A and B are shown apart, each in its own frame.
Chain A
């Protein structure tokens, strides 16, 4: 009965490779997000999707591309990986406005990406 699940949990790869991280939520939420947590534990939003439309795209390199086949899934694809991409990536979901606790985020367990 996992609420937000993301795979893989660990990913070790070489510079220049392309990789994807998958995320699925079974909470019936209509908004999903990708956050990046760096080595100093700072959590920064990268993307959010609402009803399959991108509604935030922070200043991340265009090597990063979110893909949402349906509102329960938001995958993160990264091209030409660089050393600085090493971090923990968290998927999250929430209900959009109009709800009693609008915006409370439910996070996945994180995917630790190490670029060598």
Chain B
């Protein structure tokens, strides 16, 4: 079965620095990969999607890379702010189509220290 590991349970960084979160997976390569943000007591919120034929995707201060050789995705938040503090989840979709085969990682809790 698919295993998805996110580099650490918790990550603390100083405000203004770049936060880098890692998502590693085993077995088959996903058709695409998504990143979500989850705040305490709330549901996950979609941030970015990157497809298997894309190396990099950007959205404002967010950047996602996808390396199918290393079976790894990196999620970067540049110029981090305390408001970026949350749990970030990666999710992999195996094949084509909808979200039927969406597997989530355990998440990394990011804390940005003012």
Which residue from chain B places its CB closest to the CB of A98 in the assembled complex?
B97
User: Are B89 and A103 in touch, CB under 8 angstroms?
Assistant: no
- B97 x A110 contact (CB < 8 A): no
Which residue of chain A lies nearest to B89 when distances are taken between CB atoms in the complex?
Answer: A43
Quick one: which of B45, B91, B98, B101 contacts A102, CB cutoff 8 A?
B98
Q: Per a CB cutoff under 8 Å, which of B45, B46, B99, B104 touches A43?
A: B104
How many of chain B's residues have a CB under 8 angstroms from any CB in A?
Answer: 26
Query: A77-104: which residues lie under 8 A (CB-CB) from chain B?
Result: 90, 92, 94-97, 101-104
Contact B42 A56 (CB under 8 A): no
B49 contacts which chain A residues (CB < 8 A)?
101, 103-104
Known interface pairs A96-B98, A103-B99; 10 further A-B residue pairs with C-beta atoms within 8 A, sorted by A's residue number? A33-B99, A41-B106, A43-B104, A50-B98, A92-B99, A95-B98, A102-B99, A104-B46, A104-B49, A110-B43
